[in-house]
Amino acid sequence: MKTIKAIKMKVTPITQRLLVPVLVVFLGFSSCKKDIRDVEWNNTGVSNNNGTSVGLTEDEKLRQINISIPAQIVKTAVDGSTLKLVYTEDLSALLDPKGYDLSYSIRLNEDFSASALNGLQYTTPGPNGTYTTGWHGNDLKVLSEVTKTDAVVNGKTMVKLHLLRTFTFTKQFASAQEAVNQQNTLLNTKTDAVKFTSYVVFGKDYPASTATAALVYTK
């Protein structure tokens, strides 16, 4: 097997002048790669760090929703052999005022599949002290738990929709001790999350925005 020797290049004033433009081009490509890596992707297009959407039509950009979500709190309690998990849904959605007006509805869907809440029976508060089992509204334009205000973002006035409501999930165990054991397990769980998908409906379903928030279990 032949040994490959390293090639040494003597740097002269001429080679220095030739290397400069090559380095400039290389650094330029490196910068472009960094910009691409910093881009935040969602399932409908690309949003850069300035919040400007690309990959969408102007009509779609007008109706794009920016979801802001803090960590979501789930308060745990044991009642006999029943484990109660009271989840407080707390999030905000920003939308262009014109896009808001040109919307029939603004849908919000939750995905609990990456959490212990998945598949559990739940109730939500209804009007006049009533409760609904296994169903909840998902139109941010008509939900009574939504507060609509104006918010200024980068000098532009946006519609801000703030949703605050609770879900009470329950799980029955064979004994109170089993319920307590599950409660303690959840209190030490750090990986559960809920995924949100929101989109405008106006003659069609517009591209959705997605966001994921951690679930924090407390007593």
Q: Are 210 and 40 in contact (CB under 8 A)?
A: no
pLDDT > 80? residue 28 = no
pLDDT tens for 14-24 read: 444 434 333 33
What's the confidence (pLDDT) of residue 47? 38
Q: Are 63 and 200 in contact (CB under 8 A)?
A: yes
Residue type, 204: K
Q: What is the mean pLDDT of residues 161-174?
A: 98
Q: How far apart are CA 212 and CA 196, in angstroms?
A: 6
In angstroms, what is the C-alpha Rg of the chain?
26
What's the confidence (pLDDT) of residue 53? 56
Of 187, 177, 196, 167, nearest in space to 65 by CA:
196
Q: Are 197 and 111 in contact (CB under 8 A)?
A: yes
Q: What is the pTM of this model?
A: 0.75
Q: Are 209 and 66 in contact (CB under 8 A)?
A: yes
* Residue 130 backbone dihedrals phi, psi, to 5 degrees: -90, 170
CB atoms within 10 A of CB 193: 15
Q: What is the mean pLDDT of residues 190-213?
A: 95
What's the confidence (pLDDT) of residue 6? 39
pLDDT band, very low/low/confident/very high, at 54 (cuts 50, 70, 90) = low
pLDDT tens for 82-131 read: 999 999 999 999 999 999 999 999 999 999 999 999 999 999 987 777 88
Give 7 or 194, the one with higher predicted confidence: 194
Bridge partners of 174, per DSSP, are: none
What's the confidence (pLDDT) of residue 10? 47
Number of H helices, E strands in the chain: 4, 13
What's the confidence (pLDDT) of residue 113? 98
What's the confidence (pLDDT) of residue 31? 32
Of 23, 19, 2, 3, nearest in space to 11 by CA:
19
What's the confidence (pLDDT) of residue 8? 42
What's the confidence (pLDDT) of residue 9? 41
pLDDT > 80? residue 201 = yes
